Amino acid sequence: MKTARNIQKVFTSRPTLEGAGVHLKRAFGNNEAPLFDPFLMLDDFRSVNPEHFIKGFPWHPHRGIETITYVLSGNVEHGDSMGNQGTISSGDVQWMTAGSGIIHQEMPKGDAGGSMQGFQLWANLPASRKMMDPRYRDIKAEQIPVVELEGGAVVRVICGSAGNSEGPVRDIVTDPEYLDITDEPVRFLLLSGQPIGEPVAWYGPIVMNTQEELRVAFKEYDEGTFIKHRAAA
């Protein structure tokens, strides 16, 4: 059975400066987060000017959330406190669960023509899983199934399902759906997930349930005790 989805409100993305000077457009963020539970933020980092993204997002912490980076074109180099490093390129996805804490950097490099296109989505974690071990899901473009639906819509299934295909990202706490849909001349992202329904205490790159938990997180970061889980030697 098909379920109708009614549009309740339309938001216009707003120019935002993040990281070391990355120009992006924020579709929704802190002020709108209660409307999008379990999602917290969605950024569009498309640009044809390398000066607007090349300084990137140098080393910074995360705790209590998942960050999902979807690259449409260009390259993004990354590294973290667990020793992971690599590059995600056109069509690739990185689903990072920060959990108890991770320190990482993301450095957009663009493509040969100097352009960069992609999105980053932040998903919240429930209180019971905020301190889970960090983990990565690196998904290459060729691992993402492409489904053509009745009516001509073409769907890249990153997480969730469409038609008879299931996306490669599974076993995610909020049971999300992440679909990239084209119905010429329209292309859009369809995102859904199980609402968490818990208090949100959010400052910068850390999202917890209480102000005290935030205070502890930043105190641990200052004292060098933020990282609870490290990669095996």
Mean pLDDT of 19-30: 96
Q: 131 in a domain, yes or no?
A: yes
Please report the beta strands in 164-205, taking only residues with DSSP state E, as ranges in sequence order: 165-166, 177-183, 186-192, 201-203
Task: Work out the mean pLDDT of the chain and round it to a whole number.
Answer: 94
Supply the pLDDT for residue 1: 47
The token pair that represents 117 in the structure block:
């296109």
Q: 6 in a domain, yes or no?
A: no
Q: 64 in a domain, yes or no?
A: yes
pLDDT of 69 higher than 60: yes
Q: Which residues, 6+ apart, have CB-to-CB distance to 206 below 8 Å?
A: 61, 62, 63, 64, 65, 214, 217, 218
pLDDT of 233 higher than 60: no
pLDDT of 70 higher than 50: yes
Which residues sit opposite 203 in a β-bridge? 206
Question: What is the per-residue pLDDT across 86-106, written as a single tens digit (0 to 9) for each?
Answer: 999 999 999 999 999 999 999
Q: 169 in a domain, yes or no?
A: yes
Q: What is the DSSP string of 119-172?
A: EEEEEE--GGGTTSPPEEEEE-GGGS-EEEPTTS-EEEEEESEETTEE-SB---
Q: How far apart are the first and last CA of the chain?
A: 50
Q: Amino acid identity of 188?
A: F
* Number of other residues whose CB lies within 10 A of the CB of residue 33: 18
Cis bond upstream, residue 185 (ω within 30):
yes
Mean pLDDT of 115-128: 97
pTM to 2 decimal places: 0.94
pLDDT of 215 higher than 60: yes
The token pair that represents 103 in the structure block:
């320190």
Q: 230 in a domain, yes or no?
A: no
CB of 88 within 8 A of CB of 69?
A: yes
Q: 72 in a domain, yes or no?
A: yes
Rounded CA separation 92/75 (Å): 9
Rounded CA separation 20/50 (Å): 13
Question: What is the per-residue pLDDT across 137-154, written as a single tens digit (0 to 9) for each?
Answer: 899 999 999 999 988 999
Q: 135 in a domain, yes or no?
A: yes
pLDDT of 2 higher than 90: no
Supply the pLDDT for residue 166: 96
Q: 125 in a domain, yes or no?
A: yes
Supply the pLDDT for residue 229: 77
Mean pLDDT of 98-127: 96
Q: Which is higher by pLDDT, 230 or 74?
A: 74
Q: Give the domain CATH number at 111.
A: 2.60.120.10
Supply the pLDDT for residue 145: 97
For the stretch 25-34, contacts whose Cβ atoms lie closer than 8 Å and that sit 24 or more positions apart, written own/partner, are 30/202, 33/200, 33/202, 34/200
Supply the pLDDT for residue 231: 60
Burial class (CB in 10 A: 0-12, 13-18, 19+), 172: buried
Number of domains in the chain: 1
Q: Which is higher by pLDDT, 4 or 115?
A: 115
CB of 157 within 8 A of CB of 164?
A: no
**Domain region containing 158:** 14-223
Question: What is the per-residue pLDDT across 157-203, written as a single tens digit (0 to 9) for each?
Answer: 999 999 999 999 988 989 999 999 998 899 999 999 999 999 999 99
Mean pLDDT of 198-220: 97
Task: Report the percentage of the chain scoring pLDDT > 90.
Answer: 85
Comparing CA positions, the residue from 179, 119, 186 lying closest to residue 155 is: 179
Rounded CA separation 192/155 (Å): 15
